[in-house]
Amino acid sequence: MIEKKHLEALRAIVGKENIYDDKAHMIAYSYDATRTRFEPDAVVFPRHEEDVSKILKYCNDNKIVITPRGAGSGFTGGALPANGGIVLAMEKHMNKILEVDTQNMVAVVQPGVINKDLQKHVEALGLFYPPDPASEEYSTLGGNVSENAGGMRAAKYGLTKDYVMALRAVRTNGDIIRAGKRTIKDVAGYNVAGILIASEGTLAVITELTLKLIPKPKFKKTYMGIFPSVNNAMNAVFKSLSAGANPVAMEFLDKLVIEALIEKLGVNLPKDAGGVLVGDVDGNVPEEVEFQLKTLEESFRANGAVEFRVAKDEDEAKELWYARRNASQSITIYGNKKLNEDISVPRSMLPEALEKIYAIGERYNFKIPCFGHAGDGNIHVNVMIDISQIDEGHKCIEEIFQEVVKMGGTLSGEHGIGTSKAPFMSIAFNEQELQLFRDIKKAFDPNNILNPNKMGL
């Protein structure tokens, strides 16, 4: 528990209306999407960067643990106060869009801005911020950067890291640093911004982001390919891209997901379908969109597709996307507990990766429905178990990680490591690499007060 004198010192920094240690706040800030709970000792709402600096310096001097938090929507425990201390909640005050520079196509925002709010704001100006995590309606941009969030549009437009031009952050000693510039080219000094992206709040607290924008594409269409097997669909992914297709999104559903969607939600898909690919294509002229659709259809059919659908309007587009957007809720028919992982492999390895995943599931007698971002090699693996099988479920996940890493893949494509995947870090990294991570952590946070024991560090 934090001593009263420390709470009084923090109140003097932020004001009594911006720090709470009552039970209601402790519960509200104790969990994220993992459903795991760790109660903090207090929740502090900084009003601005100067508050963050003073809070960090005080906590560093007094060895008080701090966990930075955005919306708490993460799937791996990155924002959980697993060691007590204070939660530094950024959403209440530090949630402003500070500037949109339409000439240089740059947005400057505070970390508590909701992803979708920025998208809507810049699209009204004819600009586009592509990163679109599934949590875009409520996740914050600071959280997106801290986890390097992905999304369905990553197939064409990349991840959050591809849009961070510069940032401001506060180190644990209170020092305010700038990393990066709002220029297209910048090769002066170390890439400190790159180190802070995906660091899960373990190195410094981000207080401002300078984000790259692009012109909003003028035309878009939605497509769906239906295949006799998921293997056909996975081969169509990398072969279509090699043939010149450049879809905004290329999402997939396997046979187990398709069957669950039909049974639970009555989705309009053939009962004998083994795999589905759904996504969007866009462009600035209609001919560009039609070329993309033609390339996809030819490649899909060459790889066994039995049907290729193109939405005629927005309502039909929503109907095609309905299956993908409801995949996660449909698969609850297979078990009362879902172990949800987000492994990533080179796209050409997708057929082999899924074959290995299903084989591991058969050995453990678990159903493993899979769906996700095939266009960038990111698979959402769902090991469906009863709660009594949790230990076997984790062994199953460990075997999947081992196979994925052998293929040149990684433990996470977008959810991060946090507490959930920390025990598996040694599968993906050798001891020398893990020690380098620890050295970087120590350089930024020598007293280990900032989100300690995350990512296995």
Q: Which pLDDT tens digits describe the chain residue by residue (457 residues)?
A: 899 999 999 999 999 999 999 999 999 999 999 989 999 999 999 999 999 999 999 999 999 999 999 999 999 999 999 999 999 999 999 999 999 999 999 999 999 999 999 999 999 999 999 999 999 999 999 999 999 999 999 999 999 999 999 999 999 999 999 999 999 999 999 999 999 999 999 999 999 999 999 999 999 999 999 999 999 999 999 999 999 999 999 999 999 999 999 999 999 999 999 999 999 999 999 999 999 999 999 999 999 999 999 999 999 999 999 999 999 999 999 998 999 999 999 999 999 999 999 999 999 999 999 999 999 999 999 999 999 999 999 999 999 999 999 999 999 999 999 999 999 999 999 999 999 999 999 999 999 999 999 998 8
Long-range contacts of 300-303 (CB under 8 A, 24+ apart): 300/225, 300/227, 300/236, 300/240, 302/236, 302/239, 303/227, 303/232, 303/233, 303/235, 303/236, 303/239, 303/240
Q: Tokens for 30? A: 């104790």
219-329 maps to CATH 3.30.70.2190: yes
Q: Write out the DSSP string of 118-144.
A: HHHHHHTTTEE-----TTTTT-BHHHH
Q: Tokens for 367? A: 């159903």
Contacts for 107 with CB less than 8 Å, ≥ 6 apart: 97, 99, 100, 101, 118, 121, 122, 129, 210, 211, 213
Fold type of domain 97-215: 3.30.465
* Residues 121, 124, 130, 133, CA torsion sign: positive
Task: Domain 335-428: give its CATH code.
Answer: 3.30.70.2740
Rounded Cα distance, 142 and 149, in Å: 10
pLDDT of residue 31: 95
| Domain spans in the chain, listed from the N-terminal domain onward | 4-92, 97-215, 219-329, 335-428
Same topology between domain 219-329 and domain 335-428: yes
Nearest to 370 by CA among 175, 220, 230: 230
Torsion angle of C-alpha atoms 61, 64, 67, 70, degrees rounded to 10: -70
Task: Domain 4-92: give its CATH code.
Answer: 3.30.43.10
CB atoms within 10 A of CB 288: 15
Nearest to 75 by CA among 424, 312, 419, 453: 419
